[in-house]
Structure 1
Amino acid sequence: MKKLIIDVDTGVDDAQAIMVALADPDVTVLGITCCFGNTPLQNVLKNTLRVLKVCNRLDIPVFRGCGKPLLAHKRHAGDYHGKDGLGDCPDPDAPGLELLQKKKAVTAMIKLAKQNPGEVTLVATAPLTNLAVAVQLDPSFPERLKALYIMGGNTDSRGNTTVCGEFNFVADPEAAYVVLDRYTCPTYIAPWEFSCRNSLPWSFCEKWLSQKTEKAAFMKNITNFTFQKAQSAEYDKETTEGKGFNSCDTYAMAAAIDDTFITESDEVAVTVELEGTYTRGMMVLDYMKMLDKKHKAFVMKNVDLEKLKKMFMNSLK
């Protein structure tokens, strides 16, 4: 049984990643911690509870995390996920925020890792602010983790938020720097360009959403806005080159769930640029070994898409 903590900024792809995890019988989600990102924190909290409701899993504890970056200017991704993060299709019967845990996200992360030393896999699909604060409060926190899976960063200086920067890292570059510097547990990164090259065909997405279930109806509703954006001429070349839908966060989740999902990766030391005019927030890969860092991350290059498709199909059954 895999024990997960999921750190999210619940937009459409976070919702997909959460639902994939909840559908796997060999996964236990110990808690979901929330951070600003795709949408303001209040929306992230509401969206997370909405996803758990449709999955009939409101028993999973949800924790309020950081509402702004360590130093950077706050930014969101409403142009792609909708202003509310879930396609601007509100649910009048959505769960209320009184269901949130009183304990804050960072405190909860640290406590859950202490209770399950060496057993917890942390899946981070949001800006890394909660993780950076956690290691500052408890420097031994990363040592108790089994592994860390991150969706974020980029490898080919191809941005989706700035010229050279991926959203999660650009949203809080200092936090990304701290995490990549101080988390020495096994670390796996699903970067932006990699996910673009492994998009899900539109024909599969149609089949995926055509399942006659409440979960499929929910997913079809929240993805409509994002699908239209992804299929528009504005996004085709910058994202998936017109091939299909890029559910960025779900690649990190799939890798955390199935050890065989990653078929090719580079093991390399990584860091984040904090200053450049065009490159602030860009992930730096040290192939020349000039950073003198002992800890290296596994940067995903290729995955088994058929396994991802099965996970997606099962998530809406």
Structure 2
Amino acid sequence: MKKKLILDLDTGVDDAMAIMVALADPNVEILGITCSHGNTPLENVLKNTLRVLKVCNRLDIPVYRGCAEPLLAGKLHAGDFHGKDGMGDVPDADAPGLELLQKEKAVQAMIKIISENPEEVSLVATAPLTNLALAVKLEPSLPKKLKALYIMGGNTESRGNTTVCGEFNFLADPEAAHIVLDCYTCPTYIATWEFSCRNSLPWSFCETWLAQDTDKARFVEKISRHTRKMVQTERYQKELVAGPGFNSCDTYALAAAINDTLVTESEQVAVSVELAGTHTRGMMVLDYMGLLNKKHKAFIMKKIDSEKFKKMLMDALK
């Protein structure tokens, strides 16, 4: 049977790469893509998602409009990193229009799709977790119907990439992240900021990857120019946990969802999110002492098989 996925995205450059990895795997069926605020305002996210699907000739996949703002926090975007439009500020005059969106909204679609496929769907969340938080509040039994949840977000060592201790996706809606980590009791796998840094790939691989003579490779090369330039700045180099390298954060969570053997090391621990700290708001908390009295423990990814990951990326642009 094919692996059934819902992708919850804030489509910027790394989300685009994740979509393309999923579409390249013949054993994966994407049941829907739900969109959220995050890397860029929601209208851009919707346009970007359709753009990626057009490049991959997969506009048959339903795309749903989700939340345009966080539950309580102020809006946060990553225009300096991904470009103001989230995709490197290289517009396409022939990009698909928003009339292709489904009329049903993201949260309702998420609940419906999961309910119609009980214990068969894995949800891959690479955006702020607003859509997921609202879905579980509307349908508390939703996590029991999920096969698994894969999240790109949070941190394990209080290393921030947006504030001193805050990783972008969790910081963009800390209340939503708190709700999701409390309420989603299905098997949960988290690709954190430090994890993605430590498993980054050499720039020499990135050059080979983008040099493939295909329309997909040319598309990714074009939309990622701004981001690749930003990665070379002094500020970003200071954020990196490991040495400099190519780090497509969101793609790690997606790749783990479709390849059970990709992650070679992980640890299981109860997690939560700090909501009130002056410097630590949005930081993921790991409860090694069991003081939170949480029965549910998440799998925190540690290491991957980098050769398998490289192959998945190469296949995505063929």
Counterparts of 1:241 and 1:93 in 2: how far apart (Å)? 40
Superposed CA offset, 1:224-274 (max 9, x none): 000001122231131265521110000000100011111111100000000
CA contact (8 A) 1:148 1:187 kept: yes
Say whether residues 1:309 and 2:310 are aligned partners: yes
Greater CA deviation, 228-237 or 151-160? 228-237
**Matched residue, 2:259:** 258
For the residues of structure 2 that align with 1:233 and 1:292, how far apart are their CA atoms?
41
Aligned residue for 2:84? 83
In structure 2, give the amino acid aligned to 1:270: V
Q: Distance in 2 between matches of 1:201 and 1:75?
A: 30
Q: Which amino acid aligns with 2:240?
A: T
Tell me, in whole angstroms, the C-alpha distance in 2 between the residues paired with 1:288 and 1:305.
Answer: 32
What are the residue-to-residue correspondences of 1:160-239 with 2, within 5 Å? 160-239=161-240
Distance 2:50 2:104 in 1: 16
- Deviation of 1:114 after TM superposition, in Å, equals 1.1
Deviation at residue 151 of structure 1 after TM alignment: 0.1
Q: 2:236 and 2:177 mapped to 1: Cα distance?
A: 26
Q: Which residue of 2 aligns with 1:276?
A: 277
CA contact (8 A) 1:124 1:151 kept: yes
Distance 1:26 1:242 in 2: 34
**1:53 aligned partner, one-letter code:** K
Tell me which residue corresponds to 1:24: 25
Please give the residue correspondences for 1:129-148 in structure 2 after superposition, counting only pairs within 5 Å.
129-148=130-149
Identify the range of structure 1 (230-239 vs 261-270) with the bigger mean alpha-carbon deviation. 230-239
In structure 2, what is the equivalent of residue 5 of structure 1? 6
Instruction: Find the residue that maps to 1:3 and give its secondary structure.
Output: strand
CA contact 1:69–1:171 (8 Å) conserved in 2: yes
What residue is the counterpart of 1:61 in the other structure?
Answer: 62
Partner AA of 1:118 in structure 2: E
Counterpart of 1:312 in 2: which secondary structure? Answer: helix
Unaligned runs of 5+ in 2: none
Q: Over aligned residue pairs, what C-alpha RMSD do you find? A: 0.7
1:201-243 CA-to-partner distances (Å, cap 9, x unmatched) read 1000000000000000100000000000112223113126552
- Asked whether the 8 Å contact 1:231–1:242 carries over to 2, the reply is no
Summarize deviations over 1:33-81 as a string: whole Å, max 9, x none: 0000000000000000000000000000000000000000001000100
State how far apart, in whole Å, the 2-side matches of 1:180 and 1:213 are: 40
Contact 1:199 1:240 in 2 (8 A): no
Would you identify which runs of 4 or more consecutive aligned residues in structure 1 move more than 6 Å?
A: none
C-alpha displacement at 1:293, in angstroms? 0.2
Task: Give TM-score, length-normalised by structure 1.
Answer: 0.99
How far off is 1:175 after superposition?
Answer: 0.1
8 Å CA contact 1:13, 1:250 repeated in 2: yes
In the alignment of these two chains, the number of paired residues is 317
* 5+ residue gaps, structure 1: none
For 1:210 and 1:229, how far apart are their aligned partners in 2?
20
1:38 maps to which residue?
A: 39
Distance of 2:201 and 2:130 partners within structure 1: 29
* TM-score normalised by L of structure 2: 0.99
Identical-pair percentage: 74
Give runs of aligned pairs for residues 90-101 of structure 1, distance below 5 A. Answer: 90-101=91-102
CA distance in 2, matches of 1:285, 1:235: 25
- Map of 1:128 onto structure 2: 129
What is the distance in 2 between the residues matched to 1:231 and 1:75? 23
1:298 corresponds to: 299
Aligned match of 1:113: 114
Tell me the distance in 1 between the aligned counterparts of 2:247 and 2:239.
Answer: 11
Query: CA separation in 2, counterparts of 1:239 and 1:100?
Result: 37
SS in 2 for 1:244: coil
Q: Give a deviation string over 1:64-106, Cα, whole Å, max 9, x none.
A: 0000000000010001000000000000000000000000000
CA-CA distance at 1:155 after TM superposition? 0.3
Q: Whole-Å Cα distance in 2 between the matches of residues 143 and 18 of structure 1?
A: 25
Deviation at 1:11, TM superposition (A): 0.4
